[in-house]
Amino acid sequence: MTNAGILGMGSYIPEQIFTNADFEKVLDTSDEWIRTRTGIEERRFAGDDVKTSDMAYESAVKALDQANVKAEEIDLILVATVTPDMSFPTVSTLVQKRLGAVNASAMDISAACAGFIYGIVTAQQFIENGAYKHVLVIGVEKLSTITDMSDRNTAVLFGDGSGAAVVGPVSEGKGILSFDLGSDGGGAMHINKQGEFMEMNGREVFKFAVRQMGESSLKVIDKAGLTKEDVDYLIPHQANIRIMESAREKLDLPVDKMSVTVKKYGNTSSASIPMALVDELDEGKIKDGDVVVLVGFGAGLVWGAVVLRWGR
């Protein structure tokens, strides 16, 4: 069977920075309150003239370049997002046209903050069964469009951005080693968007996430036939530093072995894991042969984790 792994990655980081001090001017909150409870110091907002598909396209171009794969070699485009340009057509088809990926099929995935994990696992199936050779997976969000900026409980949490990965065949022993996906619709209303803005029961989401991030990480390691000692790096969904720390502690990893980009990007939902992964790769923290755990949770409620051995 063909092994599926990540051949190249890219991200798009919006230029506009909105700091905690900026929120202090418009909300009854403080920098200390935000930092101690979430770990967030600033976040990025895309301009009014920047659409979700624009960010997705920019990150995709970088991923294709790093993977040394041409747009016409892409067989399928998967875009994970809960903030599409419009209800339909999908973001993936807009990206397909703009890239010139003339041979690609396309569809969007709605799994909120676990969307990128769901996309990677879906891509793996197509690659490993021989149906496709190259799948472009993008996690992208413009959460500023669905966040109530007058609600201090949610406004300070979210940001915009995009991250993309080209998934394709890799050598034996490399790539995706195992995955774990799950859902619990019983908690569906804890994070939802029924009107103009999203709503969240922070306390219930926190309890769920602390339990599930750790459990899913341990389960996926066991499925891969590995132990906690084999893990070199953890890329958790960048939602809240306390939730992330609980997952790190479950794996007995030192502090410097976990990605923490939440402080500069906030929670970017589907985009947070690929954006974080790109940052760590750029800084040389993930090397060829490293065992990396990706884990996330989101509205649904859904969760997902992947263990991969980095490299081609």
Residues forming the active site? 113, 237, 267
The dihedral over CA atoms of 241, 237, 53, 165, expressed in degrees to the nearest 10, equals 130
**Which two three-digit tokens encode residue 244?**
């992330």
List 109's β-bridge partners, or say none: 80
CA distance 207 to 163: 27
180 to 65, 120, 221, 280, 282: CA distances (angstroms): 30, 12, 9, 23, 27
Dist CA 58 CA 70 (whole Å): 15
CA separation for the pair 210, 250 (Å, rounded):
10
> In whole angstroms, what is the distance from residue 220 CA to residue 118 CA?
14
DSSP 258: B
Helix (H/G/I), strand (E/B), else coil: 206: helix
For residues 181 and 204, give the distance between their C-alpha atoms in angstroms, rounded to a whole number. 20
CB atoms within 10 A of CB 189: 14
Specify which residues 42 forms β-bridges with.
19
The string of DSSP codes covering 103-116 is T-EEEEE--GGGHH
Asked if 53 and 85 touch (Cβ cutoff 8 Å), the reply is: yes
